[in-house]
Amino acid sequence: MTPRQNELFGEFVRTVVQAAGTMSLYSRQHRTTVEQASQALFLLNEALADDDSATIMRLGDDLFVNGFPLEKGPQIDRLLMVMAENGIGHFTISRGASGDDIELLLMIIARQAERDPKPTLHLRFGALDLGAAKNAIVGTAEISSISAIPAQLMEGLASLFNVHNPMEQFDPGVVLSVVAGFVTAFRNEANPFLALVPLREMDEYSFAHSINVCVLNLAQGMSLGFEGQLLHDIGVAGMLHDVGKQFIPEDILNKPGNLKENEMEYMRQHAVRGAEYLLNNPGIPRIAVVSAFEHHMKYDLSGYPKVSKGWQTNLCSQITMISDLFDALRTRRVYKDAMSFGKAAGIMLWLAGTDLNPSLTLSFLRTLQKLEET
């Protein structure tokens, strides 16, 4: 998203909120309401000149549009409050939206619409709190390694990490089944680290990395005493933490060397875009959505996405940060060699307290060393 697009979306939101205020004072048919609604539609069309749609999502006290935060202000705060009151975590508005779609937004903000607004062709709504997938654990046969994943599940899992239509929903049962299989095997005293994907078996980095982060998350969770649904959901969060990378151009994802600033802007989008994508797929545990959003924030919040002061990252996100970094350091890529365990551990200890939760980092490295010695 260009700075100009971000500015246009910000003006669109502010104009919509102002028009809703005018509607509350006067009526839908009042001249000022009509003029402001028309201006909002004009700004939306300008902002969507190069995009098919925009997803506006609230997370905490911040509002994001297609992965980029909007500058805070009274109108933004007003929209956040109304979205929270109506249980709206995000809404997507697409090119081709009409005055009727804008009017529906105005009615919601002015508290003149039904609490559960019905979607239109160009305006869709979604809840933020999906809750845990309490009855979603299926296919709990042991999966002790990558080679033990049944072929049908392997195909479904691999397809999730291929670039495809971002609006397409995936089958969460595939991910849930694989994670449940890992949990079952690891509970039966299998060494979780034996399930890590070696590069000689799986050359597709995004796929291998996601499985490894899932396994490392489960190992951390088990060492911390987590059980049941929470342990399972921590594994799902690891598997899906990078799902937003399907929105990033392949030449940026696999570029050797350092990225340019405009390329980094694209890369930084994957955290919020991943969270948005998971929000649109029912059955995904809430902590998986949160971890997709937070896994690059860093323990001291110096990473991305930028959030308001005082933001508290979820414990599952902090676990995922550790798993993500460890596997990235230990994996060979086209632009770097894999690090030894000792060197990777040294870097992680150096980053403990800033990038990583220090207590979780020490626990993870001790657990890993103990299991590698067995």
> How would DSSP label each residue in 43-105?
HHHHHTTT-SEEEEEEETTEEEETTEEPPP-HHHHHHHHHHHHTT--EEEEETT--HHHHHHH
pTM (2 decimals)?
0.68
Q: Of the segments 161-165, 171-175, 179-183, 281-285, which one has the largest average pLDDT value?
A: 179-183
Weakest-pLDDT range from 105-114, 125-134, 252-261, 281-290: 125-134
The answer to the question of residue 277 being in a domain is yes
Within this chain, do residues 158 and 95 fall inside the same structural domain, yes or no? no
Is residue 183 domain-shared with residue 114, that is, in the same domain? no
The confidence score (pLDDT) of residue 127 equals 63
Q: Are residues 269 and 217 in the same domain?
A: yes
126 pairs with which residues across the strands?
Answer: 90
CA separation for the pair 140, 153 (Å, rounded): 12
Residue whose C-alpha is closest to residue 213's, from 297, 110, 131, 321: 321
Separation CA 102–CA 208 (nearest Å):
43
Same domain, 122 and 221: no
Cα(205)–Cα(130) distance, integer angstroms: 29
Torsion of CA 304, 50, 56, 163, to 10 degrees: -60
Residue 371 pLDDT: 67
The rounded mean pLDDT for the chain is: 83
- Please count the helices (runs of H) and the strands (runs of E) in the chain: 14, 5
- Between CA 304 and CA 296 the distance in angstroms is 6
Supply the pLDDT for residue 198: 59
So what's the pLDDT on residue 151? Answer: 78
| Confidence bin at 150 (pLDDT 50/70/90) | confident
The tokens for 42 are 């004009």
Residues 310 and 217 in one domain: yes
Q: Report if residue 133 sits inside a domain.
A: no
On whether both 77 and 190 belong to a single domain, the answer is no
Residue 65 tokens read as: 């549009």
- CATH code, 245: 1.10.3210.10
pLDDT at 236: 95
Quick one: 203 and 248 in the same domain?
A: yes
Which of the two residues, 187 and 354, has the higher pLDDT score?
Answer: 354
Q: Kindly state whether residue 215 falls inside one of the protein's structural domains.
A: yes
- Of 145 and 338, the one with more pLDDT: 145
What CA–CA distance (Å, rounded) separates 129 from 247?
23
Q: What are the tens digits of pLDDT across the range 330-363? A: 876 544 566 788 898 999 999 999 999 999 999 9
Q: Is the pLDDT of residue 39 over 50?
A: yes
Residue 137 domain-assigned (yes or no): no
Distance CA 373, CA 97 (A): 60
For the chain, how many structural domains are there in total? 2
Name the strand (E) or helix (H) holding 294: helix 286-294
Predicted local confidence at residue 335, as pLDDT = 47
What is residue 63's predicted lDDT score, i.e. its pLDDT? 82
Integer Cα distance of 301 and 355 in angstroms: 8
Q: Using CA atoms, how far apart are residues 39 and 41, in angstroms rounded to an integer?
A: 5
In a domain, 138, yes or no: no
Nearest to 43 by CA among 69, 65, 68: 65
Q: Are residues 116 and 153 in the same domain?
A: no
Task: Report the percentage of the chain scoring pLDDT > 90.
Answer: 37
What integer pLDDT is reported at residue 119 of this predicted model? 86
Q: What is the mean pLDDT of residues 66-87?
A: 85
Q: Is the dihedral of CA 43, 48, 53, 54 positive or negative?
A: negative
Q: Is the pLDDT of residue 13 over 90?
A: yes
For 86-115, what is the mean pLDDT?
A: 89
Q: Which of 126, 156, 181 is the last residue of a domain?
A: 126
Least confident of 110-119, 227-236, 267-276: 110-119
pLDDT tens digit string along 118-139? Answer: 889 999 887 643 333 333 344 4
pLDDT of residue 72: 85
**Sheet of strand 62-65, all strands in order from the earlier edge strand to the far edge:** 68-69, 62-65, 53-59, 90-94, 123-126
Range name among 174-183, 195-204, 259-268, 335-344 with the lowest pLDDT average: 195-204
Can you tell me the distance from the alpha carbon of 189 to that of 193, in angstroms, rounded to the nearest whole number?
12
Cα–Cα distance between 196 and 192 in angstroms, integer?
8
3-state secondary structure of 124: strand
Question: Is the domain of 204 the same as that of 339?
Answer: yes
User: For residue 281, is it within any domain?
Assistant: yes
Specify whether 319 is located in the same domain as 363. yes
Q: Tell me the pLDDT band of 20, cut-offs 50, 70 and 90.
A: very high
Question: Is the peptide bond between 305 and the residue preceding it cis, with omega within 30 degrees of 0?
Answer: yes
User: For residues 19-55, b (16+ Cβ closer than 10 Å) or e, as one string?
Assistant: bbbbbeeeeeeeeebbebbebbbebbeebbeeeebbb
Confidence at residue 229, expressed as pLDDT on a 0 to 100 scale: 85
Poorest-confidence range of 149-158, 244-253, 305-314? 149-158
Residue where a domain stops, chosen among 126, 161, 176: 126
- Supply the pLDDT for residue 133: 36
- Residue 271, domain extent: 146-373
Within this chain, do residues 196 and 280 fall inside the same structural domain, yes or no?
A: yes
pLDDT of 50 reads 82
Q: What is the pLDDT averaged over residues 62-78?
A: 83
Residue 136 lies in a domain: no
Count Cβ atoms within 10 A of the Cβ of residue 340 and give its class: 0-12 exposed, 13-18 middle, 19 or more buried.
exposed
Bridge partners, residue 334, by sequence:
none
Together in a domain, 287 and 220 = yes
- pLDDT given at position 130: 33
What does the alpha-carbon distance between residue 16 and residue 18 come to, in Å, rounded to a whole number?
5
